[in-house]
Amino acid sequence: MVAIIVHGGAGTIKKEDRIPRVIEGVRDAVLAGWRELKRGSALDAVEEAVKALEDNPIFNAGTGSVLTLDGKVEMDAAIMRGKTLEAGAVAGIWGVRNPISVARKVMEKTDHVILSGEGAVKFARLMGFEEYDPRTDERLKQWEELKKKLLETGEVKHWKKLGELIKGYPEVLRSTVGAVAFDGDEVVAGTSTGGIFLKMFGRVGDTPIIGGGTYANEVAGASCTGLGEVAIKLALAKSATDFVRLGMNAQAASDAAISLATKYFGADTMGIIMVDSRGNIGFTKNTKHMSYAFIKDGMNEPQAGV
């Protein structure tokens, strides 16, 4: 049984009128992946689904990525094949349209797993990816507002006051997009993000950390979203697949993974999507929202929601 699920980020969608646009975005993305999956490739399906999310400025990945403290874009992405454990990732990349596609090239064209910063950009140019500015007017406006708030309150020393900032601007946590697919032969997982608003320049989240925010093996695949530091500390994507190896299906494993995040780091921290090698789909969050869409054999239309 073939199956694919995507997510558009966990957190709080403060403006309720954005929800229909978010649902439409994840629905379009899962259909883009589904078309490739029906041709037989989970790898192509995950890449195309994530590219669709990266190209939609409502999501925090690719075009529309959030900005760092100094107003720049530093994006992360990763993709992993469960059958071979091949993986590729980029961290802190800028000046490209689709970081997920660069991550795939890292997997296929190098002996490495992660390329970062300027090296990742140089590699992208070598692979033919053209210069592209993913910043949008909306993100620049949000950055100005958030930076102004920080300067007015004096809360500019790293992230010590980020909790108060998040209470006033819960959308800063609505980060990361991802996809997981099973083509009947292997599971593939992919994740992409612009990170978190006003992050320290050079900060790397869980997305490109294999086992942290992205992981796939012969039994399952997972893509995480939320506070990256939580997923890294718990090796959450890998832990979720371990639950499948112990006998759980994708939904039970997703529930267990988010229970783990809640136990150690509290609510409003994480979400996860999964597919196992039997074609089961799972998704769980401990945040108010996590946009998702999935489709598998036997379904005529995707199921989507927040």
Cα–Cα distance for residue pair 124/215, rounded to 1 Å: 23
Per the annotation, binding residues are: 203-206, 225-228
Give me the number of domains the chain comprises: 1
Residue 200 confidence (pLDDT)? 64
- Specify the CATH number for the domain of residue 247: 3.60.20.30
Span 196-212, mean pLDDT? 82
What digits encode the pLDDT tens for the residues 287-306? Answer: 999 999 999 999 999 999 99
Residue 113 is assigned to a structural domain of this protein: no
Residue 165 confidence (pLDDT)? 52
Catalytic entry in 176, 193, 269, 287: 176
Residue 204 is assigned to a structural domain of this protein: yes
pTM greater than 0.75 (yes/no): yes
What residues have CB less than 8 Å from 37, skipping those under 6 apart? 2, 4, 44, 45, 181, 183
Span 193-216, mean pLDDT? 85
Per the annotation, binding residues for substrate are: 203-206, 225-228
Residue 160 is assigned to a structural domain of this protein: yes
- pLDDT class for 157, splitting at 50, 70, 90? very low
Residue 181, domain extent: 3-85+137-305
- Whether the pLDDT of residue 141 is over 90: the answer is no
What digits encode the pLDDT tens for the residues 85-109? Answer: 999 999 999 999 999 999 999 999 9
Has 191 been annotated as catalytic? no
Residue 151 is assigned to a structural domain of this protein: yes
Residue 116 confidence (pLDDT)? 97
